[in-house]
Amino acid sequence: MELSVPFQLALITVMAFVCQWASWRIKLPAILPLLLSGLLLGSVAGLIQPKQLFGDLLLPGVSLAVSIILFEGALTLRFSAAAGHLGRADHLGRGDAVRLGPAGSPL
> How confident is the model at residue 106, as a pLDDT?
54
Q: What are the boundaries of each domain within the chain? A: 5-99
**Looking at the predicted structure, is the pLDDT value of residue 98 above 70?**
no
Compute the distance between CA of residue 19 and CA of residue 83 in angstroms, rounded to an integer: 31
Cβ atoms 41, 15 nearer than 8 A:
yes
pLDDT band at 10 (very low <50, low <70, confident <90, very high): very high
**Looking at the predicted structure, is the pLDDT value of residue 14 above 90?**
yes
**Looking at the predicted structure, is the pLDDT value of residue 76 above 90?**
no
pLDDT band at 36 (very low <50, low <70, confident <90, very high): very high
Compute the distance between CA of residue 14 and CA of residue 3 in angstroms, rounded to an integer: 15
pLDDT band at 43 (very low <50, low <70, confident <90, very high): confident
**What percentage of the chain carries pLDDT values higher than 90?**
38
Give 69's contacts (C-beta < 8 A, 6+ positions apart). 31
